[in-house]
Structure 1
Amino acid sequence: MSCVLLDNDRDTWSRASTLILLGFMCYALPWSVFAAQQPAVSPPSSSAPLLRMQGSNTIGAKLGPALVKGMLEAQGYRAINIQPSGVENEQRVTATSAKGQNVRIDIAAHGSSTGFVGLQEGSADIAAASRPIKDAEVASLAGLGDMKSRDAEQVIAIDGLAIILHPSNPITSLRTDQLAQVFSGEISNWSQVGGKAGEIHLYARDDNSGTYDTFKELVLSANGKALSVTAKRFESNDKLSDTVSSDPQGIGFTGLPSIRQAKALAIASGESQPMLPTQATIATEDYPLSRRLFLYNSPAQGNKPWVKTLVNFAHSPRGQAIVAQNGFISQTVSAIKVSATPDMPPAYQHLANNAQRLSVNFRFAEGSANLDNKALRDLSRVFDFLSSQNKLHQNVVLVGFGDPKSDPARAELLSKLRAMAVRRELAKQGVMFKDIIGLGDVLPVAANTGEEGRIKNRRVEVWVY
């Protein structure tokens, strides 16, 4: 049975009350589907590559090759080398099997959109993307199966889109609407945002980049702006960062591992407080410019065992350790101490003073009461953490949040229903809860003026005593 929508403002209160009953009837997948397995696979008999990855430079520059190397090591390969292929932003990973057979995996990192083109043309087995697949891309790849399904879409890491300045720049924070004005050219002098007088120099990723797509969606388009034609464009995150760190008047945006020698700003969105891109704020996806990194593959082509092997390895503890080693935020669950602040509701202040928050937020598919693909995998991660800490019984509090509704009581109800949806899944594994709380639209982490922000605010936190 499919779950009904939770966020349609046209719903009547009678339907809202019906949701309470239907919320417990949503179809739940067996827990076993989340268990990553590492089947041994054999190399092809020909000289063809084992695997071809195309797409995001954010992933393909370092993380993709590192995950491939780790996967090959786990499969018993030796003499593993990562080397340039002779084409800029393309690499080749070579190795030797236990039987002495030489193999290779090809990685091309020219931007997220090129990965989906590669899948469509048959030149790629897996697409690396630093943004979700677009509806037009889903339509173009319809022959490969449902590209938004759990089998096709894999969140392998969390990244923060860092806004970077020269280290000498005195500015410490900006709002997303100010960023939009800066990068559109409406604000062209640093004195207009509290800095020293001087022309602002803009640096941005190119049009193929998922990093640019994310910035465009979360900053520019969300504020009705377009990138200034004066911005200098880059295919590489690292080159952009190095240019900004050598230009006292420069500003740019890049993935978290590419901050390098530059200075990162704290960013605010809507009513949220400015946040630096830290491990905690990005892991929970509270940081306004946090984003997910994806691998996409065809669910209709089950005859490519190396695709499944790489995906399973990326999700494994060893794969997530490689994610962290390469400067991204892994999805390994940990407990975080949160400091209470005056703007927190009393119930939330009590949690901050007496419990710890887990480094994961559960979120939902767009326009749906169903947990999204990341949340489905996070269920097993949270359960494993609680089990390892002996916290399965009466130690857990779920806190639901949402976006504003015309009636505050409705917002509170919907936020609690989200928490109940997570409770239902974890309870199947024997987790017993101390409390389930719905706090409505308080403590937003994104602006509610756009759908992207509203979706981000619809979340469930996990707290442990």
Structure 2
Amino acid sequence: MAKPPRKFFTLCLFVLAAVMLSPASAHELEIHGSNTVGATLAPMLVSGYLQQLGDDNPSSRPTGEENEQILSANAGGRNLSVLVAAHGSSTGFRTLASGRAGIWASSRPVKPSEADQVRAQADLTALESEHVIAIDGLAILVHPSNPINQLSIDTIGQIFAGEIRNWSELGGSNRAITLYARDDRSGTWDTFKSLVLGKKYPLDPSAMRYESNDQLSDDVSRDPGGIGFSGLASVRNSKLLAVSDGNAPALKPNQLTVASEDYPLSRRLFMYTMGDRTPELAAQLIEFALGTNGQALVAESGFISQNPIAVKPDFDASVPLTFRRLTENYQRLTVNFRFAEGHTKLDNKAQRDLMRVKHYLEAQGRSAEDLLLIGFADTQSHELRAQMISELRALSVRKALNEAGLPRVAYTGYGHYMPVGGTGNQRNGRVEVWIKDR
């Protein structure tokens, strides 16, 4: 009898691996990925969702593996079990692609190379697959005794590349700088590398690397020479620095600057699913996370909720008098409308923010006539061109709000003034939402 060809054994091994990784194992749902999302936020969202379904309060138990836990509850006589494994954003993509995870938790957007790998099964960049569950500010942390209060993105890059090695070079104490960074599997690291280091600055080999945001922050808070970065929910006992980008003013991450994504190191936290292949339990959990109750848990966890609130901004000296007059009878909502890169189409978050603004007005007993949209453009060669672009952006949002049932919203453009990032930064092209004072 002839031996089966080598390809036969390869196929058998592939099928066996697929069966072993199948979600039809011990848990009804598995969530894999980011430590930023999985350490606290994802378990809180799972518990909140299970509590709505269940006959009793959800329970949590460790798996024996670090940064993993199982949450379970009884619902209609059936025990539901959800595994949350937080080993880094890249690990989440691999388990989603393999079919093991129903949800990939990520603290960075899907990479084009990752989206290409599963394009035959789902479009991970589409609205039905990409879900922004929270906004986070990448926090730059130092010891509480450090006299430095703000740094530019470029200076932070120089520090982490080892080009600046003593705090005295920045006006601080004569003390060597110690570097604390997340590990290579972390979406927090990917975000820091993209927003701060770029292709210009390599990470200095002396940097200590961490899987956990909380542990990194705790170690920085005990080291007078330390500097590190983490998610906003992990500041703990460290000191938080303000950050500047280009000629824009330095901003500290707070409710308004992070929710609006004006803060230079703001980032979106994601849950990705496989489009129409998403398991029902995973789809229901996503809807809960994106809704009002889920976003309230986001705020409780220490991240920034996407539920809009009205805030009276504290203007600094850089804000022009004309803008002060334009907004003097308004408060700003903690939402900016942004556009997909290279497109005039609103991005996935903005599509959902349309309904969030509508629900906010309904809850507050307000109408569309109370709103004012102010569009902004990135730096242009001519002031008139910048004004036209900013007005067109605001008009695009006005049309989208009209389609969502909010007609006749007032709008204007403010050209390329009041940038929130350096020249060429996509964050400068935005539409702010303001609401009349009562």
1:140 equivalent to 2:117? Answer yes
Q: Which position in structure 2 is the counterpart of 1:234? A: 210
Residue 395 of structure 1, CA deviation: 2.0
Q: Which position in structure 1 is the counterpart of 2:426? A: 455
| Matched-pair contact (CA < 8 Å) for 1:129–1:295 | yes
Q: Which position in structure 1 is the counterpart of 2:281? A: 306
Alignment of 1:291-370 (within 5 A): 291-302=267-278, 304-370=279-345
| Matched-pair contact (CA < 8 Å) for 2:354–2:404 | no
1:431 equivalent to 2:431? Answer no
1:261 equivalent to 2:237? Answer yes
Deviations 1:308-360 (A, max 9, x none): 11100101111111111100110011111023444334442113422111110
- Paired AA for residue 464 in structure 1: I
Q: Which position in structure 2 is the counterpart of 1:202? A: 179
Find the aligned partners of 2:83 and 2:326 in 1 and give their Cα distance.
Answer: 48
What is the DSSP-based 3-state SS (H/G/I as helix, E as strand, rest coil) of the residue aligned with 2:319? coil
Q: Which position in structure 2 is the counterpart of 1:385? A: 360
Alignment equivalent of 2:68, drawn from 90, 99, 116: 90
Deviations 1:252-309 (A, max 9, x none): 000011000100001111111111111111111111111110000001414x101111
Q: Which position in structure 2 is the counterpart of 1:16? A: none
Deviations 1:101-121 (A, max 9, x none): 333111110111111111122
Q: Which position in structure 2 is the counterpart of 1:118? A: 95
Residue 77 of structure 1, CA deviation: 4.2
Find the aligned partners of 2:264 and 2:423 in 1 and give their Cα distance.
Answer: 12
What is the DSSP-based 3-state SS (H/G/I as helix, E as strand, rest coil) of the residue aligned with 1:139? helix
Alignment of 1:84-233 (within 5 A): 84-99=62-77, 101-221=78-198, 224-233=200-209
Count of matched residue positions in the alignment of Structure 1 and Structure 2? 414
**425-434 vs 315-324, greater mean Cα deviation:** 425-434
| Matched-pair contact (CA < 8 Å) for 2:355–2:404 | no
- Identity among equivalent positions (%) equals 47
Residue 393 of structure 1, CA deviation: 4.5
Residue 46 of structure 1, CA deviation: 7.3
Residue 141 of structure 1, CA deviation: 1.7
- Paired AA for residue 423 in structure 2: N
| Matched-pair contact (CA < 8 Å) for 2:152–2:245 | yes
Residue 417 of structure 1, CA deviation: 0.6
Find the aligned partners of 1:178 and 1:358 in 2 and give their Cα distance.
Answer: 31
| Matched-pair contact (CA < 8 Å) for 2:398–2:409 | no
What is the DSSP-based 3-state SS (H/G/I as helix, E as strand, rest coil) of the residue aligned with 2:73? strand
- Paired AA for residue 360 in structure 1: V
Q: Which position in structure 2 is the counterpart of 1:445? A: 420
1:70 equivalent to 2:41? Answer no
Alignment equivalent of 1:248, drawn from 224, 235, 244: 224
Find the aligned partners of 1:297 and 1:413 in 2 and give their Cα distance.
Answer: 38
| Matched-pair contact (CA < 8 Å) for 2:395–2:411 | yes
1:397 equivalent to 2:397? Answer no
| Matched-pair contact (CA < 8 Å) for 1:340–1:352 | no
Find the aligned partners of 1:388 and 1:123 in 2 and give their Cα distance.
Answer: 40
Q: Which position in structure 2 is the counterpart of 1:408? A: 383
Q: Which position in structure 2 is the counterpart of 1:3? A: none
Residue 125 of structure 1, CA deviation: 1.2
Find the aligned partners of 2:409 and 2:291 in 1 and give their Cα distance.
Answer: 30
| Matched-pair contact (CA < 8 Å) for 1:47–1:103 | no
Residues 413 and 49 of structure 1: is their aligned pair in 2 closer, same or farther, counting only changes over 3 Å? Answer: same
Residue 76 of structure 1, CA deviation: 2.4
| Matched-pair contact (CA < 8 Å) for 2:51–2:73 | no
Residues 102 and 393 of structure 1: is their aligned pair in 2 closer, same or farther, counting only changes over 3 Å? Answer: closer
- Paired AA for residue 141 in structure 2: I
What is the DSSP-based 3-state SS (H/G/I as helix, E as strand, rest coil) of the residue aligned with 2:58? strand
Residue 413 of structure 1, CA deviation: 0.8
Alignment equivalent of 1:290, drawn from 266, 274, 280: 266
Find the aligned partners of 2:223 and 2:368 in 1 and give their Cα distance.
Answer: 55
Deviations 1:117-176 (A, max 9, x none): 111222211100011111111111213211100000000001110000010111110000
Find the aligned partners of 1:432 and 1:301 in 2 and give their Cα distance.
Answer: 36
Find the aligned partners of 1:319 and 1:358 in 2 and give their Cα distance.
Answer: 19
**229-238 vs 102-111, greater mean Cα deviation:** 102-111
Find the aligned partners of 2:30 and 2:232 in 1 and give their Cα distance.
Answer: 25
Find the aligned partners of 2:36 and 2:402 in 1 and give their Cα distance.
Answer: 37
- Paired AA for residue 462 in structure 1: V
Find the aligned partners of 1:225 and 1:47 in 2 and give their Cα distance.
Answer: 44
Deviations 1:221-269 (A, max 9, x none): 06x1111111000000011001100100000000011000100001111
Q: Which position in structure 2 is the counterpart of 1:59? A: 37
Deviations 1:14-33 (A, max 9, x none): xxxxxxxxxxxxxxxxxxxx
| Matched-pair contact (CA < 8 Å) for 2:51–2:57 | no
